[in-house]
Structure 1
Amino acid sequence: MDPSSEIILDTPYFRIYSDRRIDRLMGTETVPAGFDPSTGVTSKDVVIDSDAGLYVRLYLPLPDTVAAAASPPPNVNDSKTKLPVLVYFHGGGFVTQSAASPIYQRLLNALAARAGLLIVSVNYRLAPEHPLPAGYEDSFRALEWVAASGGDPWLSRHGDLRRVFLAGDSAGGNIVHNVAMMAAASGPRVEGAVLLHAGFGGKEPVHGEAPASVALMERLWGVVCPGATDGVDDPWVNPLAAVAPPRPSLRDMPCERVLVCGAELDSLLPRDRAYYEALAASGWGGTVEWFESKGQDHVFFLFKPDCGLLQRFMRRFSLPCIWRVLAQ
């Protein structure tokens, strides 16, 4: 048997071989940007670096849609008011999905409309072809582009660049934390962050974490970030690990408000809860909230678009929780 054909990581979503080849079993379908009549949101793609394949998909809700959003901050009812800007990082284990994936197009159209946000969805490079930290570097570069823009008329005309927020699910939640740490070291300013079922790991299990979950993250991390000197205790994947200056720690979180979301049946729940508790106890001067979806599994909101529970989650996610984090 050819050693290069050995499967070293087999999941329902992707399969990785010992020579770093990958079979992406989902997350490769794409849809074009454009107007979504069901939400009144228009999207478009903007290239930041064609050589790196780095682009963003912008989502802009119509003024009437923003004004009709339930329980928005009072100033959003004025159609001339600029919108908060949410920079979103998709999930997919660092190896699959994209800013053009149908599940993210659907999610972000709904979120832009319901929460009255100008959303910037980042298409970062994927491992194993582009090992981390490439995806982190792309994501931070996109944040810098947003903060400096100017670069696109939607942002300059409709986005309030004093209110820039980060959000992401699964691997994207991990990226939220790391982009925030990069911003803490060198700017730009970030107002708040939302981590949805974030993908973290570590060599030692945290309370309630199953050994199988620890082992899976260790195998994945060895493929997506092979240069990590501390393995799965690298601070990129284990925010609870000790860091040496000048690398920022949790107490240096640059946001004023952070929302950490978990799901009761998700194997990542113990890590997400531990992250929330560590941030709350770090000496950071901001406000952190915890929200747990009972009876639900990892990123359930992406895969159950017709589920009544999803609709309740979206109301909870996009209105009370998001507005507590995003509203002035």
Structure 2
Amino acid sequence: MSESSQPCDPYARLGIVRNPDGTITSDRTKFPRVPPTPDFVVSKDFKVNQSKSTWMRLYAPITAPNGGKLPLVVYFHDGGFINGSFDLKPVHGFCNCMALKLNVVVASASYRQAPEFKLPAAYDDGLHALKWIKNLPDNGWIKTYVDLSEVFLMGTNSGGNVAYNVGIRSTEEDLTPLCIRGLILLDPFFGGQERCESELRHVNDQHFPLALTDLCWKLCLPDGADRDHEYSNPRMGDRAGNMEIMLRWKVIITGERGGAMIDRQRDVAKLMKENGVYVIEHFTDGGDPNKTETMFAFMPSFIYSSPPLEFFF
């Protein structure tokens, strides 16, 4: 167990100020942001919904074949549903590298965040982003470079949770010509009322103590909901025992052995497998300096391959 030298103030860690009148204010201006870049990958910003101030940054490798089409990865950033943005420097660098290394087009979508906008606002925005892509004109950037029959939803941490829930919601919509092929959940953020062992081992973790995860859920879940809400705990709700909607997808879940979320991630993988979903688990040791490079090394085989036929019947 990692021990913190001082008690953690989870509000301060999230950049949130508690006001005397009981309200809270979040400051998202302290993180470095970067514009689109024209390097080995061309990127460009598009406004998705003006009334909700949602955006999308598209990335296309300049080596994209003339007349050829590439898979599309729709990516949702991390930040515990509270912080983060599609144009933060680390997010931009990751998506830029992903487009280049995986030879895909990346659509990095923004979404409204708590505490101002509680769930399901982020899921609504993610689904709206897919509809926005669907309705682009035929001469648009995506229609030019993308094979819309090969779409993957991807997210890191809370973004993995968004990708999971947007994927479920997408099955209830006609998104033709988009065809979602699978989910890529990177260290996804899930929870539950009963503490799992990996959470208890990290109760005083220096980087992300249990009090911080609890606050994230408190601020983002609907009023009156606890961590056993279906947005947090996939074993709850109507779809926990019925995942037929995902049977033609392939799913990969990554995480760190010994990490605070590893038991949750393994349980979600187990739940999907119990329902017949094709799932690959890729768990690595924590502190691996080559973690991103390792992921980019195995990800192309996941994107460009098909699940075994037995998972279709």
Q: TM-score, normalised by structure 1?
A: 0.79
> Match of 1:240, as an amino acid?
R
Distance 1:248 1:265 in 2: 28
Contact 1:12 1:25 in 2 (8 A): no
User: 1:283, CA displacement in angstroms?
Assistant: 3.1
Residues 149-177 of structure 1: CA deviation (Å, up to 9, x unaligned): 33771101101101111101011010011
Residues 269-318 of structure 1: CA deviation (Å, up to 9, x unaligned): 1111111111111233xx2100012133xxxxxxxxxxxx54x4333312
Secondary structure of the residue aligned to 1:43 is strand
Aligned residue number for residue 290 of structure 1? 281
Aligned residue number for residue 264 of structure 1? 257
Q: Is the counterpart of residue 35 in structure 1 residue 38 in structure 2?
A: yes
> Match of 2:233, as an amino acid?
N
Q: Is the counterpart of residue 224 in structure 1 residue 206 in structure 2?
A: no
Contact 2:136 2:143 in 1 (8 A): yes
Secondary structure of the residue aligned to 2:96 is helix
Q: How does 1:1-328 map to 2 (within 5 A)?
A: 9-10=10-11, 12-15=13-16, 17=18, 18-24=22-28, 28-36=31-39, 40-63=40-63, 79-150=66-137, 153-188=140-175, 189-210=179-200, 212=203, 216-227=212-223, 230-241=225-236, 243-244=237-238, 249-253=242-246, 256-284=249-277, 287-296=278-287, 309-310=288-289, 312-327=290-305
> Match of 1:202, as an amino acid?
G
The structure that is helix-richer by fraction is 1
Residues 241-274 of structure 1: CA deviation (Å, up to 9, x unaligned): 1x237x9954432651100000124211111111
Give % identity: 26
Structure 1's 104 and 193: CA in aligned 2 closer, same or farther, altered over 3 A? same
Distance 2:100 2:147 in 1: 16
Secondary structure of the residue aligned to 1:186 is coil
Aligned residue number for residue 310 of structure 2? none
Aligned residue number for residue 75 of structure 1? none
Secondary structure of the residue aligned to 1:240 is coil
Contact 1:181 1:249 in 2 (8 A): no
Q: TM-score, normalised by structure 2?
A: 0.83
Structure 1's 215 and 175: CA in aligned 2 closer, same or farther, altered over 3 A? same
- Equivalent pairs counted in the alignment come to 287
Between 1:229-238 and 1:97-106, the stretch displaced more is 229-238
Secondary structure of the residue aligned to 1:293 is strand
Which structure 2 residue ranges, 5 or more long, are not aligned?
Answer: 1-7, 204-208, 307-313
Distance 1:125 1:232 in 2: 20
